[in-house]
Amino acid sequence: MKKKQLTRRSFIQQSTLTAFGTAIGMPIVFGHYLPQNLLPVILEKDSPIEGKHPDLTLLNDRPLNAQTPPHLLNDSITPADKFFIRNNGLPPENIDPEKWTLTIDGESAKSNRTFSLAALKSQFNEYSYQLVLECGGNGRSEFSPPAKGNQWTTGAVGCAVWTGVRLADVLRATGIKDNAVYIGYYGKDTHLSGDKNKRPISRGCPIAKALEPETLIAWSMNGADIPLHNGYPLRLVVGGWPASCSGKWLERISIRDRIHDGPKMGGQSYRIPCDPVAPGTKVADEDMCIIESMPVKSLITFPRTGAILNARELKIKGHAWAGDVSVRKMECSIDFGQSWQPAQLSPPANRLAWQDFSATVRFPKPGYYEVWARATDENGKTQPMILPGWNPKGYLNNACHRIAVRVK
């Protein structure tokens, strides 16, 4: 065990042995003998991404994209260092929050207004909500034929506490014309080409979604500044819809009299076929529909897949969510879906937050098992056991999550 100063992470500086054990996932036997100023070896790995947990899985670095293994998502509120990263361009540099501004404009704005970050905080009421953000391509790696793009497995999702002001309050203070249809956001991220005249992404949502009370202009994540790669110092948070609707490094919002037409709004970006198609089918752009509310989904976060048990009983934990609606029922199976047993399901902390679930499963004899999880939303829609349907871009895979368990 090599010596390590405890200065590089503030949470470690003040940690107790209990906190160390929580980070590792089990008690530290003989931990009271650990010499002062030493970390357990398992915690000595540095993350390749500043401010992020070292076990995030890096998918690419230009732009930066990283996902979170399911067992790191066991917290009811996703810690900032475990929150996934989905970037389309390069984050801004040399950010001065005191000089940061947000402009509201557009064809359907009654006036153009610019707010400083300080003005947003002082002129509008502050709200905090637990909100799920999930990349529309989460689960893309399961598609066959393969779909182009980041090969997310299950980790492009998180539920944090976001704090800011309601987008509705800011838009109404500016003035909304009766012909408003959509909002579009613009961030300060730079296109990969370095061309200042190109934007890597500029998406949005219908005006009705923008005016929901949970849609926020946020500056805080879990009570602290938002991490740089998650949008510091200001971002849009549109819970329940593809995370691409939640623009980062927010500098401008336009109130549109039409569906927003920024980069990655048209073509096949964040769109699926309006009608089901066979795998491998080429679909014309005009036959693709914009993704809105995300589908019902769940994730087993404890234990980690590959668990080896010396007992016939196991308590599993996880989360379930369902876009704009809540989850009504949660089930699990140990016999590849031949039978399902109910799981305990907690209510959401607020609308658009995920819901914790737990269940105790019992294995009839030693051997290899898979534990499957299945959620049903309030409208009666249930997760499919396997890939729900192919689409050219590999979006909206909400097949059941499963983990491997070996019982001795």
Q: Residues 192-241: pLDDT tens digits?
A: 999 989 999 999 999 999 999 999 999 999 999 999 999 999 999 999 99
Residue 45: pLDDT band with limits 50, 70, 90? low
Residue 6 pLDDT more than 50? Answer: no
Question: Using the 8-state DSSP alphabet, how is residue 242 labeled?
Answer: B
Question: Using the 8-state DSSP alphabet, how is residue 170 labeled?
Answer: H
Which fold, 297-407?
Answer: Immunoglobulin-like (2.60.40)
Does the predicted TM-score (pTM) go above 0.85? yes
287-342 pLDDT per residue, tens: 999 999 999 999 999 999 999 999 999 999 999 999 999 999 999 999 999 999 99
Tokens found for residue 56: 């995030």
Ramachandran bin of 29, using left for φ above 0, alpha for ψ from -120 to 50, beta for the remaining angles: beta
Helix, strand, coil shares of the chain, percent, nearest 5, are 15, 35, 50
Widest CA span in the chain: 70
CATH number belonging to the domain at 97-290, selected among 3.90.420.10, 3.40.50.620, 3.30.43.10, 3.40.50.150: 3.90.420.10
- Pinpoint the residues of the chain covered by CATH 3.90.420.10: 97-290
Average pLDDT over residues 47-54: 87
Average pLDDT over residues 50-72: 95
DSSP H stretches of helix in 101-179:
117-123, 167-174
Residue 162, strand partner residues = 129, 221
Q: Is the peptide bond before 70 cis (omega within 30 degrees of 0)?
A: no
- Could you give the dihedral angle defined by the CA atoms of residues 283, 287, 292 and 293, in that order, rounded to the nearest 10 degrees? -70
Q: Which pLDDT value is given to residue 23?
A: 59
- Exposed, middle or buried by CB within 10 Å (0-12, 13-18, 19+), for 216? buried
Residue 386 pLDDT more than 60? Answer: yes
| Residue of 1, 130, 155 lying closest to 70 (CA atoms) | 155
